[in-house]
Structure 1
Amino acid sequence: MFKLDAPTLLITLTAIQWLLAAFLLVQNRKEPGINGWALSLFIHGFSNLFLFARPHLHPYFGIVFYNVCVMVAFSFSHWALGQIFVRDVPRWQLVLPVILSVIFMASHLDDIGSRVVYASLIISMQLGLMTQTIVSSTDTGGQRLKRWLIMVMGGFSIAFAGRATFAHFYPDSFTPLLGTSLLQAGLILSGIAYSVINTLIIFLYKLERVHEKLHREATRDSLTGLLNRRAFLAKAKRRVETAAFPLSVLMIDLDDFKAINDSFGHSVGDKILKHCADVFEQIIDEKGVVGRLGGEEFAVVLPYCDSANAQQLSAELLNAIQISGSTLEMRLSASIGVTTTTEALDIDCLVAQADDALYCAKHEGKNTFKEYTLHAIP
C-alpha cells in the first residue's frame, strides 16, 4: 500500500523524474535544450537516491554530495532554458550555486536548520535567475506557455525563499528529514509538482514552436521570408471577403532579372531577390500584404486603398528599387501592374487584371507602372 512518508515519496519522485526524462528524449531529443532538461531531471532523480540512502552514508557524501547534485541539476535546467529560449546564460550563474553549496553544506554539517536555509536560498536564487532568462527572451513564439513557465518558476523561487525563512525560525521542523511528517511529505510533493508542471509546459512550448515552424515553412517563401503564392492568395481572398474596399492589387516584376542571373550567377540573383523583398516590405509596411508568387514576381494586396493611393505607392516602390540598387552596385528597376476594385471580385480575377497591366508596363519600356483598364493589353 502507498504510504505518504518521505522514503516512499522520494522513490516515487525519482521514478517520475526519470520517466519524464525518458519521455522528452524519445519525443523531442533533437530540439535545442531538451537534452539538457532531461539530464537535469535524471540528476535530480539521482540526488533523491542519495537522500534516501543518507542514513547509511558518510555525512560529507550524504550531505555535501547530495546538495551538489541538486545544484548541478538546477544549473543544467538553467542551461537548458537558455537553449530553449535562445539566451546566453552567463557561466557564473551556472557555477556559483554549486560552489556556494559546497561551502555552506561543508561548513554546517551538524546544523540541519542552517543547511536548509542556505540550500533554499541558493535554489531560490537559481530559480530567480532562470525566471530572468525566460523573461529576457526575445523569442516571439509560444507567449502564453512562456508566461505560464515564468509564473511557475517565479512562484517556486518565492516558495523556496519562504522555506528558508521558515527554516530560520523553526529549524527543528526539518530534523526528521526522512520521517512521516506532513511538512516533509509536502516538500517532496512540491518537487513532484515542479518536475511535472515545468516539464509539461516545456514540452508543450516546444511542440507549439515546432507547429509554428511547420506553419511558417508551409506559408512562407524560403528565400525571402515573404508569403508564398498559396498563402498570399488565401490572405488576399480573406481581405476581399471582408469587404475592405476600395482594394488594390499590385503585380511587381523585376526588370531583366534573367540577364542578371546569366551575368552574375544565381547567388547574386538570390541576394537581389531578398534585397528587393526587404524594400517592398519596408515601403508597404502596415498598408498591406506582400507575397512572392514565384521567380522575380511579387504581389501586394492593399485594403482600403483607392486608385490614386495605389499609383502613388507604386511610384514610391519603383523609386526605392532604383535608389537601393546603388547599395548593391547594380542597376535595378521593376515594372508594376495596378488594379483597383470597389466590389467583391474573385482574387484570381484581380491578380489576372494586375498581371495584364504589368504586361502593358513591360511593353512600354519597363521601370514604370500601369493601371488596369479593359483595353490595357496592346
Structure 2
Amino acid sequence: MSKAVYLDYNATAPIHQQVVEAMAAVMTAGGNPSSVHQSGRTARNRVEEARAALAGLINCKSPEIIFTSGGTEANNFALSTAGDRPLFISATEHDSVLAAAGEAAVRLPVDSHGILNLDVLRAALAAAETPAFVSVMLANNETGVIQPIRAIADIVHKQDGLLHCDAIQAVGKIPVDFNEFGVDMMSVSAHKFGGPQGIGALVLREGLAVPAFIRGGGQELGRRAGTENVAAIAGLGVAARTAEKIIAQGEAIAALRDEMEARIRDLSPASRIYGGTVPRLPNTSSIEMPGVPAELQVMSFDLDGFAVSAGSACSSGKVKASHVLKAMGASEEEAGTAIRISLGWRTTAADIDAFIDSWRKLYKRKSPKFAA
C-alpha cells in the first residue's frame, strides 16, 4: 500500500478542514459566552449559531438542544432522567446506554436482522405498572441497521411512556428528523460526521422538564452547568452545515459498500453480512471472515494499510464477542470472526479494490475454510 486507507468512519470520521479553521479562529479570539462584554457576546453568538445549525440539520428547535461533552454524556444524561419509571432498552444498544441503564433495565429482543421486536415492546409496555422510559438507537454502530423509530415512538406514547433515541451514528449519514420521529430525547455526537471529538448534544422535546445533569451555573438553560466549549461547539456547527453535502453522497457510498460485500461473498459464500437485507446506514458493513478471529483481522489489515474495527470503538480493546451480533443470533464463534467496515466521503473504488485484495490474501493465508 502506498497510502493508508481509512475504513473506520463509524469510530470517528475525519475532521473537515473548515472545522479545524473555524475552531482555530475561535480559540484565538477567546471569550466566555457568559460574559456581557463584546468578546463574551461574540462567543455567545458563536454558540448560538452552532445551535441553530444543528437544529436545522435535525429539524428541531434551537432551545431544545443541550450541548454535552459527547455522545456518551448525552446518553447518560438521557437515561438519568428516567427517574422511577421502568426502563426498557433494546438488546443491541451502545455500551454507554447499557451501562447507564444498569442491570435493572429490561433488554428487549431483536430479530435475526437486528430489528427490535415491536410485539414484545408493545406487550412489555402494556404490562408495566407505570409509564415506562424506553431507549432505542436509530442506527446501530456495528451493523448500521436502522430501527423503525416512528413506529416505536407511537407504541411508547400510546402507553404514556418516554422515548430516548441514540442517533449518534445516523446524524450526518442519513436524513434525521427529530420532529418527524416523534421521540422525546435524541443524542448526537459531532465526531461521527466530520466535527471535533469531545462535543455532542442531547435534544430534549420542548416542554419536557428534566433535572439538571450538572449543577453549578446557569448554562444551557440551567440543565448542564459549566462554561461552554466554544471552539468545539463552533466546530460542530460547521460540521452540521456541511453534513447535507455528505448525506447527498449516501447512494454513491452505498454502491461502493454493496460492491465490496458482493465481492467478499464471491470469495467466501459462507460469510454472513449482518443486517444485509434490511435498511442500513449506507456506509456500514459487519461481515464475517469464517475461521479468522476478528482481532487478527484488524491487526493484519492495519499492517496492510487498512483501518477497520472489530466492532464499537468504545469496546474494541476488549477480547469478547459482540453483544450486538449475539443478540441477532450469532454464535460466540461467528460473532468472533466479524469485523466492521465503515466507509465515508473519502472512500474510492480504488480503496475497495485494494481492500478486497488484502481480504483475499488474509483469508487464503489464515482460514481453514478457504476454498477459492
User: TM-score under structure 1 normalisation?
Assistant: 0.25
User: TM-score under structure 2 normalisation?
Assistant: 0.25
Bigger proportion of residues as helix = 1
Q: Which has the larger radius of gyration?
A: 1
